[in-house]
């Protein structure tokens, strides 16, 4: 596959504040990239900078062979062939559905325009609304018009700013699958911004996690899920809960027992954090007398996967060493009561340790 | 996001427009301030103290009366179950369409010694001369204050009513749950919350009062505006007139600052204004008093004067009057159409500049262009004369130097000066309407055209202007109507033998012959009703 978008060392300052710093990113033709991060991390700024609504202070953005901006030049937004679907859709209220879609293709001949509009209306199931005004449409229909309008000029790259945030939760999944199919059908390369990681898992081929203007990790969603590269990434994506551990020459020790040091272990700190997914915790049988209670139920909620428990460490002699934990989450079918003391152990697996500093 | 466009021509023209609009006033102020201290001393020793005193007294009385009229009527309409509430709600706005000088004339006519009221009283009680009885004299300072208050109170009524209606009803509900009665919660919660709105409205009334010329002139109450007029037209003393205008300008400036300050408190708006309001149930006697109060305002401020005008028109109208009306009407139309069109074009250009240009200080031209709303017409006229006069002389000098015939007073002696003054004075109205229209366009619509490959021109032509069409229409109409009604600036600036509707009616009033112009007066009132209908409609929509 050929590379479509290349971003190198991109920095953006807005009102003297560094919003993006030294960002590198490249995207293949036809890829859909999901950009996640807490609000204010710079993801929308990145989108606006690619679209040409912000001026970078350093770095370059290249699509195919075409330089959109580098140190010397900055192509105006209308010449970039980059489409955008806005969070509020930004549909023109004074134009009909058809006129909205035709807006960006006035340079085509009438026949070509009509053909393009017909094609899009059919694919997006909007044929009945051709002459409707925007306020006459439902939220989902409006979004489809926004997509049709953005696709009509056949942009090289499509940007979507939180496209699903205004959609009813029940419709959202269905719509995401539908739009993903469409983008694939048109072989459109796309970047979409969201703060909801689940949307990325459903919608995107690639995932980028951002924090404070920097790109933390960029990979396939499944890879990031299995191998988050930092505490921040795992914590933001809520891939599991954290168990503090103490490292010594003999091994790694936690309030839930001793752990083997993994082969590729490279941490220098004496306190590290083990990422624990709920499925990696096991409840010990209490009838066995060897089991001493090591956790206490702090919070219970009922979910479709059974009870969800949040555990806190029980006070013991080691607690002072900063190894106490809380909000350790796991699922079980067994009914436990609040404040009940239990014994849990860690299922052996490829342990992922992180230090909090990076 | 950044603004999209950085055209240099646009930037330059925006600042230039703002500069042109503000320069005359600066010239006048400089003229006034640099007027010889001797002149000021002379003014101070002779007329200035009494003019100032009258101006301030008048302002005090008008604001006090308008507050009583406006706040009480707004409270009655929004908080109680008064009968005919739906009708009173909009009827109370109508006095705004009535120029104060018309009301003043009509009531003088009605209550004068020779008027029908006193005549009937004399006939009834068989009084022979003024010595036999006491009757109030309307042509006094308190009389002028009452006339002005009768037509200006709707400002206070309108904004206070709006404030009450926009209040978060949950605040009122909370106060009720904490044990307050409906009446207590009105005085302890609703009224304090409405205070900023009332203050803004009061300062609007204050500004209108300071700007009033015709009413006080007719009542022979010497205020600063009449002084400016007399000094210039009577004595031809530009320096003294400028000095007086500068004093008035300073007074207005204080009011503007006070207004800006109270505006910052206008944030008690609510996301839940439409919840059902619990009304205070009036007892029978309270109903009667409240109804009398509201209907008296409607009748005295609008229904009675318009009826008197209609009677006059029916009795005295003839063909000759109609032809005069036609010619003055066309003059008014000409001036107002020019002023409205130019003001709207400026407002559009500066409003879109503020919205779309990347200039860091892009709001400045728009703000500067809107400052004129506070300037009384008389002051503005002085500003035009002191700027355009010298400019004319310079042009004539240049023409003669180059061997052409001197063109005469092409700027200060033509429609140009009037239209210029009207544009400066009413740009703020156009600005306000256009800006609020622009604000309703979501920011993303500015960016969408570019993301579809359409440039600034296309975006303006295909998106912004079409969406703004209703706002453009309303802005044009509002400026048009205000320009039709404007009197003092026109009186001072009109070319020889050029009469507009309002200037002609003012002349007739001065000559105690309004009968001759009753039709024109009705026309002015009708034009005045247009924005009220518009305002009321847009308020209903909310």
> For the range A322-326, what are the long-range contacts, defined as Cβ-Cβ under 8 Å and sequence gap of 24 or more?
A322/A244, A322/A271, A323/A244, A323/A245, A323/A246, A323/A253, A323/A254, A323/A255, A323/A271, A324/A244, A324/A255, A325/A241, A325/A242, A325/A243, A325/A244, A325/A255, A326/A298
In angstroms, the CA A273 to CA A328 distance is: 12
Q: What is the pLDDT of residue B356?
A: 86
Q: What is the pLDDT of residue A249?
A: 78
Q: Quick check: B450 and A77 CB within 8 A?
A: yes
Q: Are residues A289 and A317 in the same domain?
A: yes
Residue A98 C-alpha, separation from nearest chain B C-alpha, in angstroms? 14
Task: Tell whether B462 lies on the interface with A, counting CB pairs under 8 A.
Answer: yes
When CB atoms are compared, the residue of A48, A81, A86 closest to B448 is A86
What is the domain count for chain A? 2
Q: Are residues B305 and B323 in the same domain?
A: no
Which chain A residue lies closest to B443 (C-alpha atoms)? A90
Q: Quick check: B453 and A79 CB within 8 A?
A: yes
Q: A51: which chain B residues are within 8 Å (Cβ-Cβ)?
A: 447, 450-451
In angstroms, the CA A211 to CA A358 distance is: 12
pLDDT at B58 over 90: yes
Q: Are residues B223 and B152 in the same domain?
A: yes
The two beta strands, A157-161 and A82-85, are: parallel
pTM: 0.79
Q: What is the pLDDT of residue A99?
A: 93
Average pLDDT of adjacent 10-residue blocks, chain A of 358 residues: 91 88 92 91 90 89 90 84 89 92 91 93 90 90 90 91 80 84 89 89 91 92 91 90 86 83 78 89 73 86 90 72 84 88 87 79
Per residue in A246-292, pLDDT tens? 888 778 888 888 888 877 777 778 888 999 998 888 888 765 666 77
Q: Are residues A67 and A204 in the same domain?
A: yes
Most confident of A98-102, B189-193, B206-210: A98-102
Q: What is the pLDDT of residue B268?
A: 52
Q: What is the pLDDT of residue B467?
A: 92
CA distance to A137, B60, B242, B332, B501, per residue, from B493 (Å): 55, 30, 15, 14, 15
Q: Are residues B326 and B301 in the same domain?
A: no
Q: What is the pLDDT of residue B407?
A: 81
Residue B167 lies in a domain: yes
Q: B449: which chain A residues are within 8 Å (Cβ-Cβ)?
A: 78, 103
pLDDT at B246 over 70: yes
In angstroms, the CA B157 to CA B201 distance is: 8
Q: Are residues A264 and A123 in the same domain?
A: no
Residue B265 lies in a domain: yes
Q: Are residues A198 and A340 in the same domain?
A: no
Task: Tell whether A84 lies on the interface with B, counting CB pairs under 8 A.
Answer: yes
Which chain B residue lies closest to A55 (C-alpha atoms)? B2
Q: Are residues A36 and A115 in the same domain?
A: yes
Residue at a domain's end among A234, A268, A300: A234
Q: A87: which chain B residues are within 8 Å (Cβ-Cβ)?
A: 444
- Looking from the CA of A325 toward its CB, the CA atoms found within 13 Å total 26
Q: Are residues A203 and A162 in the same domain?
A: yes
Which chain B residue lies closest to A54 (C-alpha atoms)? B2
- In terms of residue numbers, what domain contains B57? 47-96+138-315
φ, ψ of residue A200 to 5 degrees: the values are -65, -40
Residue at a domain's end among A181, A202, A234: A234
Lay out the sheet containing A66-69: strands in order across: A17-28, A3-14, A58-63, A66-69
Q: Are residues B331 and B309 in the same domain?
A: no
CB count, 10 Å around CB of A304? 5
Nearest by Cα to B65 from B258, B192, B189, B202:
B202
Q: What is the pLDDT of residue B1?
A: 47
Residue at a domain's end among A234, A249, A276: A234
CA distance to A246, A248, A324, A356, B349, per residue, from A269 (Å): 9, 10, 17, 10, 62
Q: Quick check: B442 and A82 CB within 8 A?
A: no
Q: Are residues A86 and A185 in the same domain?
A: yes
Residues with Cβ within 8 Å of residue B158, at least 6 apart in sequence: B74, B93, B96, B201, B535
When CB atoms are compared, the residue of B1, B450, B451 closest to A54 is B1
Residue at a domain's end among B290, B315, B340: B315
Q: Quick check: A150 and B444 CB within 8 A?
A: no
Q: Are residues A255 and A164 in the same domain?
A: no
CATH number at residue A23: 3.40.50.300
Q: Are residues A292 and A199 in the same domain?
A: no
Q: A106: which chain B residues are within 8 Å (Cβ-Cβ)?
A: 454, 458
Q: Are residues B381 and B257 in the same domain?
A: no
Residue B103 lies in a domain: no
* Chain mean pLDDT for chain B: 86
Sign of the dihedral defined by the CA atoms of residues A218, A220, A221, A227, in that order: negative
CA distance to A119, B361, B477, per residue, from B372 (Å): 55, 20, 18
Per residue in A120-152, pLDDT tens? 999 888 999 999 999 999 888 898 899 899 999
The two beta strands, A295-303 and A281-283, are: unpaired
Residue B102 lies in a domain: no
Q: What is the pLDDT of residue B175?
A: 79
Q: Are residues A24 and A135 in the same domain?
A: yes
B508: helix, coil or strand? Answer: helix
Task: Tell whether A184 lies on the interface with B, counting CB pairs under 8 A.
Answer: no
Which range among A277-291, B149-163, B239-253 shows the weakest confidence by mean pLDDT? Answer: A277-291
Q: Are residues B212 and B277 in the same domain?
A: yes
Task: Tell whether B68 lies on the interface with A, counting CB pairs under 8 A.
Answer: no
Residue A197 C-alpha, separation from nearest chain B C-alpha, in angstroms? 25
Q: Are residues B233 and B296 in the same domain?
A: yes
pLDDT at B31 over 80: no
In angstroms, the CA B14 to CA B17 distance is: 5
When CB atoms are compared, the residue of B2, B452, B466 closest to A149 is B452
Q: Are residues B502 and B487 in the same domain?
A: yes
Task: Tell whether B448 lies on the interface with A, counting CB pairs under 8 A.
Answer: yes
Q: B464: which chain A residues are within 8 Å (Cβ-Cβ)?
A: none
Q: Are residues A152 and A256 in the same domain?
A: no
Q: B1: which chain A residues are within 8 Å (Cβ-Cβ)?
A: 48, 53-54
Task: Tell whether B444 lies on the interface with A, counting CB pairs under 8 A.
Answer: yes
Per residue in B290-327, pLDDT tens? 999 999 999 999 999 999 999 988 888 778 778 888 88
Q: State the DSSP string of B208-219.
A: HHHH--HHHHHT
In angstroms, the CA B507 to CA B214 distance is: 10
When CB atoms are compared, the residue of A77, A92, A93 closest to B451 is A77
B82: helix, coil or strand? Answer: coil
Q: A42: which chain B residues are within 8 Å (Cβ-Cβ)?
A: none
CB count, 10 Å around CB of A30? 16
Q: B471: which chain A residues are within 8 Å (Cβ-Cβ)?
A: none
Which chain B residue lies closest to A89 (C-alpha atoms)? B444
Task: Tell whether A48 lies on the interface with B, counting CB pairs under 8 A.
Answer: yes
Per residue in B97-149, pLDDT tens? 898 889 998 998 888 888 888 888 888 888 888 778 888 888 889 999 999 99
What is the count of residue pairs from A and B with beta carbons less than 8 Å apart? 74
Q: State the DSSP string of B137-170.
A: -SSSHHHHHHHHHHHHHHHHHHHHHHHHHHS-HH
Q: Are residues B389 and B342 in the same domain?
A: yes
pLDDT at B265 over 70: no
Q: Are residues B361 and B467 in the same domain?
A: yes
What is the domain count for chain B? 2
| Interface mutation vs chain A, best among B4, B444, B453, B462, most A CBs within 10 Å | B453
When CB atoms are compared, the residue of B444, B454, B455 closest to A103 is B454
Residue B457 C-alpha, separation from nearest chain A C-alpha, in angstroms? 12
CATH number at residue B25: 1.10.3720.10
Q: Quick check: A88 and B467 CB within 8 A?
A: no
Q: Quick check: A78 and B455 CB within 8 A?
A: yes
Q: Contact, B272 vs B68, CB < 8 A? A: no
CA distance to A98, A113, B459, per residue, from A104 (Å): 11, 10, 11
Residue at a domain's end among B266, B281, B315: B315
Residue B460 C-alpha, separation from nearest chain A C-alpha, in angstroms? 12
pLDDT band at B541 (very low <50, low <70, confident <90, very high): very low
φ, ψ of residue B36 to 5 degrees: the values are -60, 145
Residue at a domain's end among B280, B315, B350: B315
Q: A190: which chain B residues are within 8 Å (Cβ-Cβ)?
A: none
Nearest by Cα to B368 from B22, B23, B9:
B22
Which range among A38-52, B29-43, B458-472 shows the weakest confidence by mean pLDDT? Answer: B29-43
What ipTM does the predicted assembly reach?
A: 0.73
Task: Tell whether B465 lies on the interface with A, counting CB pairs under 8 A.
Answer: no
Q: Are residues B303 and B328 in the same domain?
A: no
Q: What is the pLDDT of residue B71?
A: 95
In angstroms, the CA B513 to CA B497 distance is: 19
Residue A107 C-alpha, separation from nearest chain B C-alpha, in angstroms? 10
Residue B341 lies in a domain: yes
- In terms of residue numbers, what domain contains A115? 3-234
Q: How far apart are the first and last CA of chain A?
A: 33
Q: Are residues B257 and B361 in the same domain?
A: no
CB count, 10 Å around CB of B327? 11
Q: Are residues A221 and A245 in the same domain?
A: no
CB count, 10 Å around CB of B392? 20
Residue A54 C-alpha, separation from nearest chain B C-alpha, in angstroms? 6
Residue B504 lies in a domain: yes
Residue B228 lies in a domain: yes
Task: Tell whether A108 lies on the interface with B, counting CB pairs under 8 A.
Answer: no
Residue B179 lies in a domain: yes
The more confident residue out of B274 and B416 is B416
Q: What is the pLDDT of residue B542?
A: 38
CB count, 10 Å around CB of B423? 25
Q: B7: which chain A residues are within 8 Å (Cβ-Cβ)?
A: none
């Amino acid at each position: 596959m050929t590379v479509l978008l290349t971003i190198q060392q991109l920095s953006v300052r807005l009102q003297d504040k560094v919003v993006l710093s030294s960002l590198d990113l490249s995207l293949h033709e036809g890829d859909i990239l999901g950009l996640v991060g807490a609000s204010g991390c710079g993801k929308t700024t990145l989108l606006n900078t690619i679209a040409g609504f912000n001026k970078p202070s350093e770095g370059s953005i290249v699509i195919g062979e075409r330089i959109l901006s580098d140190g010397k030049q900055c192509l105006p937004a209308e010449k970039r062939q980059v489409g955008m679907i806005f969070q509020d859709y930004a549909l023109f209220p004074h134009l009909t559905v058809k006129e909205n879609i035709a807006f960006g293709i006035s340079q085509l001949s009438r026949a070509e325009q009509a053909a393009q509009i017909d094609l899009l209306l059919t694919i997006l199931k909007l044929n009945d609304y051709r002459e409707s005004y925007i306020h006459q449409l439902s939220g989902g229909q409006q979004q489809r018009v926004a997509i049709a309008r953005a696709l009509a000029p056949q942009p090289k790259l499509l940007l979507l700013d939180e496209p699903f945030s205004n959609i009813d939760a029940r419709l959202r999944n269905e719509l995401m699958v539908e739009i993903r199919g469409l983008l694939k059908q048109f072989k459109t390369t796309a970047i979409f911004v969201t703060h909801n990681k689940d949307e990325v898992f459903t919608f995107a081929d690639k995932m980028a996690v951002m924090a404070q203007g920097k790109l933390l990790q960029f990979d396939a969603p499944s890879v990031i899920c299995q191998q988050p590269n930092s505490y921040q990434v795992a914590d933001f994506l809520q891939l599991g809960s954290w168990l503090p551990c103490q490292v010594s020459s003999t091994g790694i020790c936690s309030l839930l027992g001793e752990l083997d040091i993994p082969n590729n272990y490279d941490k220098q700190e004496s306190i590290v954090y083990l990422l624990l997914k709920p499925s990696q915790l096991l409840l010990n049988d209490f009838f066995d007398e060897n089991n001493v209670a090591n956790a206490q139920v702090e919070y219970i909620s009922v979910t479709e996967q059974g009870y969800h428990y949040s555990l806190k460490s029980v006070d013991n002699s080691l607690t002072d060493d900063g190894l106490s934990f809380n909000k350790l989450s796991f699922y079980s079918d067994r009914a436990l009561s609040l404040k009940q003391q239990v014994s849990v152990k860690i299922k052996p697996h490829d342990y992922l340790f992180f230090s909090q500093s990076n | 996001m950044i603004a999209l466009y950085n055209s240099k021509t646009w930037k330059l023209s925006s600042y230039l427009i703002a500069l042109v609009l503000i320069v005359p006033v600066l010239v006048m102020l400089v003229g006034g301030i640099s007027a010889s201290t001797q002149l000021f001393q002379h003014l101070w020793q002779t007329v200035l103290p009494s003019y100032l005193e009258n101006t301030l007294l008048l302002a005090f009385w008008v604001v006090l009366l308008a507050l009583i009229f406006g706040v009480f009527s707004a409270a009655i309409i929004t908080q109680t179950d008064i009968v005919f509430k739906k009708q009173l709600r909009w009827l109370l706005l109508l006095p705004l369409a009535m120029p104060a000088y018309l009301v003043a004339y009509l009531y003088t006519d009605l209550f004068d010694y020779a008027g029908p009221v006193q005549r009937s009283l004399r006939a009834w009680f068989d009084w022979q001369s003024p010595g036999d009885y006491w009757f109030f004299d309307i042509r006094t300072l308190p009389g002028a204050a009452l006339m002005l208050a009768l037509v200006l109170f709707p400002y206070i009524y309108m904004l206070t009513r709006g404030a009450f209606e926009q209040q978060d009803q949950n605040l009122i509900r909370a106060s009720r749950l904490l044990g307050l009665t409906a009446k207590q919660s009105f005085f302890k919660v609703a009224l304090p919350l409405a205070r900023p709105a009332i203050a803004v409205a009061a300062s609007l009334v204050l500004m209108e009062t300071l700007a009033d010329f015709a009413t006080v002139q007719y009542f022979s109450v010497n205020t600063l505006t009449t002084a400016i007029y007399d000094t210039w037209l009577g004595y031809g003393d530009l320096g003294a007139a400028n000095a007086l205008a500068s004093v008035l300008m300073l007074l207005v400036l204080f009011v503007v600052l006070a207004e800006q300050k109270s505006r910052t408190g206008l944030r008690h708006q609510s996301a839940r204004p439409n919840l059902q309001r619990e009304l205070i149930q009036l007892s029978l006697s309270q109903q009667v008093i409240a109804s009398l109060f509201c209907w008296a305002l409607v009748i005295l401020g609008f229904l009675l004067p318009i009826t008197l005008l209609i009677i006059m028109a029916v009795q005295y109208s003839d063909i000759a009057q109609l032809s005069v009306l036609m010619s003055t009407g066309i003059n008014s139309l000409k001036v107002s159409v020019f002023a409205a069109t130019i003001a709207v074009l400026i407002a559009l250009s500066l409003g879109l500049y503020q919205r779309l240009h990347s200039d860091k200080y892009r709001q400045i031209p728009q703000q500067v262009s809107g400052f004129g709303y506070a300037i009384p017409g008389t002051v503005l006229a002085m500003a035009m004369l002191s700027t355009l006069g010298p400019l004319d002389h310079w042009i004539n000098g240049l023409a003669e130097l180059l061997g052409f015939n001197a063109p005469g007073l092409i700027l200060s002696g033509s429609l140009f000066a009037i239209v210029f003054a009207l544009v400066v004075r009413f740009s703020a109205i156009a600005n306000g309407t256009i800006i609020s229209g622009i604000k309703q366009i979501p920011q993303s619509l500015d960016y969408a055209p570019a993301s579809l490959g359409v440039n600034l021109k296309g975006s303006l032509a295909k998106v912004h202007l079409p969406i703004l069409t209703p706002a453009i229409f309303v802005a044009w109409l509002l400026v048009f109507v205000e320009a039709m009604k404007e009197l003092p600036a026109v009186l001072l600036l009109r070319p020889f033998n050029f009469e507009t509707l309002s200037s002609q009616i003012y002349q007739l009033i001065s000559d105690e012959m309004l009968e001759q112009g009753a039709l024109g007066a009705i026309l002015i009132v009708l034009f005045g009703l247009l924005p009220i209908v518009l305002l009321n409609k847009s308020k209903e929509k909310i």
